[in-house]
Structure 1
Amino acid sequence: MTAPDLNLLLTLDVLLAEGSVVRAAERLHLSQSAMSRSLARLREATNDPLLVRAGRGLVPTPRALELREQVGAIVAAAQAALRPADKLDLPTLERTFTLRTTDGFVENFGPALLARVRKDAPHVRLRFVHKADKDSAPLRDGRVDLDTGVVSGTASPEIRTRALFTDRFVGVVRADHPLADGRVTAKRYAAASHVVVSRRGQATSAIDDALDQLKLKRDIATIVGGFAAALSLARSTDLVATVPERHTGNLRTGLHTFPLPVDVPEITVSMLWHPRMDGDLAHRWLRTCVLDVCGDGAAPGVRARRPKPAAAPPSPSRRRTR
């Protein structure tokens, strides 16, 4: 069976509205002969004359009258679907957004983000999933709406990024740990036992490179996959956890935090999304919410250090996340 030409719906809608081949042709910027051919095709498709001669004009058949309201609604819906979206009704928006986040994000930023979202759109639901790797496939296939993480130098040309905040690494120990008393030097830091955070199980990082420059090496007792696990061990043992300061603000409650005694580069935490979501008004609003809550200086209860200027507007990026 031959698929119907959906362009004929618009032609039929105009013909029924004008009741004239000439006026319908003028309205659609077609020649009179082209409009007559379209009417012939419509008659063949519906097996009905649709418009018949009555004096100098045309009058609709019962079948045409039956189709008038139905076709008009279809054409109006199609025009609305193809019209650029220009308004978002947040109080009535019903949608679930999936955010893939690194360890500590929900604990540190979740409450404020939920409050911000629910204030504007009470029917919107946030679904947080753990970020186990840096693969961008979940963003591409729509399983994830928004990702967060540190953008590295490799990769995916289609992913958009927007910097949220800069962060520095700090050392964390239990309140009565020996390093909680007095100045922490590089030698004291390296001599302690450490818990290292690495999703890929790597034992060394830029911290060890910095210590190596001082001819020091830290004692790594264990490796875990996330900041929460590292801080849990630091809370109940003599282990030292080294974690990003802002990203773990709430997780470090009750623990002693100290600046690292070696120079380690700061990191930039960003949000990431697929470009197909650029024009989605609800997604734009979600990105604004995340930026308001997590952007530089926005996280409550977190001590800031050397605030950075506001990040540049969103732009395409060829990078992956750690």
Structure 2
Amino acid sequence: MNNFDFNLLIILNALLEEYSVNLAAKKLNVTAPAISKSLNKIRILFNDQILVRSGTKLIPTPKAISLKENIKELVNRIESIFNNNIVFEPKITTISFTIASNNAILFILNTILFQKMKDKAPKAFIHLVNDSDYDDNFLRNHTIDLYIGEMRALNPEITIRTIYVSKCCIISRNHHPILSQTKNMDNLLKYQFIKTKHEYLTNSDEHSKYFWSERNLIGITPEYITTVNAIIHSDALAIIPEFILTMIQKLNIPITHFNTDLNLGKKSIIQAWHSKHNRSSAHKWLREFTKKIFLTSIV
């Protein structure tokens, strides 16, 4: 153990997350033969096959399953120690960050994100990804540095903070008949509604649940932008958080929004990250930087 290679822990962790030599190699930015060579060393070290082939897949052995959480925790602790002691100087540090969010928030951030990053941290590289491409373990199992978006199921070791609370409003196409009518429940329920997937309204009025009833709900879309596009070409209405209006206005989309006396609920925008990044100066800077960008960009 005197000559133990701690890189093997990182490789083992990647293998136990991906169950694939090729995917582990891609994740760690090394070659598949290098991962295979390390896997052989790991097998000797633990006196166990760790991963065994079953058809086209690699299946973890009982030993590997018993090691998985301990290896993950150990790697996270090692990363945390390094993160806490790395000095981050925005003007001169070469670093890359991966940020996950939905299309609407990515659009809002894009308004000034890259120009501001060029000014504040010229050697930083930003990779934006859509959070819908990942499961609920994405902050634990993938190299995502920061999530910015609406509340979703997250692992217990994930740190969360709310950066903005958005009221909700109703949108319609321009020149919609509802625009000349009183915006009460009776008139609103003359029209059908389109719902955005995972649309959970918090603190909403009990009456607003009628909008989602089988009688009034015409369909569900995967993203706010698809909801907006559907509204343009129909007489349907939709409830959206007001921060989406930033995207609508910048794209000159022919949509009108309005409020009512009904409580349409609110949406919280959060930042979420793995707790191993809690004390990292680079990640603290990223969180404050992107929070400021978001709050500056919304209408």
- Aligned residue number for residue 294 of structure 2: 294
1:128 partner letter: L
Which residue of 203, 220, 233 maps to 1:223? 220
2:113 partner letter: L
- Aligned residue number for residue 137 of structure 1: 137
- Aligned residue number for residue 189 of structure 1: 188
Could you tell me whether the CA contact under 8 Å between 1:102 and 1:131 is conserved in 2?
yes
Instruction: Report how far residue 94 of structure 1 moved.
Output: 2.5
CA distance 1:146–1:205, shift in 2 (3 Å):
closer
Distance in 1 (alpha carbons) for counterparts of 2:146 and 2:84: 23
Instruction: Report how far residue 185 of structure 1 moved.
Output: 1.6
2:138 partner letter: P
From the two aligned structures, give the one with the greater helix fraction: 2
Instruction: Report how far residue 223 of structure 1 moved.
Output: 1.1
Deviations along 1:70-129, one digit per CA (max 9) or x if unpaired, are xxxxxxxxxxx9796374222233222111102310122322232322221122222221
- Aligned residue number for residue 90 of structure 1: 90
Deviations along 1:151-188, one digit per CA (max 9) or x if unpaired, are 36x66321111211001111111111112234322112
Could you tell me whether the CA contact under 8 Å between 1:170 and 1:243 is conserved in 2?
yes
Tell me the SS of whatever aligns to 2:112: helix
- Aligned residue number for residue 281 of structure 2: 281
Distance in 2 (alpha carbons) for counterparts of 1:103 and 1:139: 18
CA distance 1:165–1:141, shift in 2 (3 Å):
same
Distance in 1 (alpha carbons) for counterparts of 2:146 and 2:83: 25
- Aligned residue number for residue 241 of structure 1: 238
CA distance 1:84–1:129, shift in 2 (3 Å):
closer
Instruction: Report how far residue 239 of structure 1 moved.
Output: 1.9
Instruction: Report how far residue 243 of structure 1 moved.
Output: 0.8
Within 5 Å, which residues of 2 pair with 1:170-185?
170-185=169-184
Unaligned runs of 5+ in 1: 6-80, 303-322
Instruction: Report how far residue 145 of structure 1 moved.
Output: 0.9
Distance in 1 (alpha carbons) for counterparts of 2:142 and 2:209: 43
Instruction: Report how far residue 209 of structure 1 moved.
Output: 4.5
- Aligned residue number for residue 57 of structure 2: none
Instruction: Report how far residue 194 of structure 1 moved.
Output: 1.6
Could you tell me whether the CA contact under 8 Å between 2:165 and 2:266 is conserved in 1?
yes
Tell me the SS of whatever aligns to 1:156: coil
CA distance 1:185–1:287, shift in 2 (3 Å):
same
Distance in 2 (alpha carbons) for counterparts of 1:198 and 1:163: 21
Could you tell me whether the CA contact under 8 Å between 1:191 and 1:218 is conserved in 2?
no
Within 5 Å, which residues of 2 pair with 1:140-155?
140-151=140-151
1:224 partner letter: T
TM-score (norm 2): 0.63
The answer to whether the aligner puts 1:266 opposite 2:255 as a matched pair is no
2:110 partner letter: G
Of 252-261 and 231-240, deviating more is 252-261
Could you tell me whether the CA contact under 8 Å between 1:171 and 1:240 is conserved in 2?
yes
Instruction: Report how far residue 294 of structure 1 moved.
Output: 2.1
Instruction: Report how far residue 207 of structure 1 moved.
Output: 6.5
- Aligned residue number for residue 319 of structure 1: none
The answer to whether the aligner puts 1:250 opposite 2:252 as a matched pair is no
The structure whose Rg is larger is 1
- Aligned residue number for residue 123 of structure 1: 123
Instruction: Report how far residue 149 of structure 1 moved.
Output: 2.6
TM-score (norm 1): 0.59
Instruction: Report how far residue 195 of structure 1 moved.
Output: 1.2
CA distance 1:90–1:207, shift in 2 (3 Å):
closer
Distance in 1 (alpha carbons) for counterparts of 2:209 and 2:133: 28
Distance in 2 (alpha carbons) for counterparts of 1:95 and 1:155: 26
- Aligned residue number for residue 167 of structure 2: 168
Aligned-residue identity in percent: 16
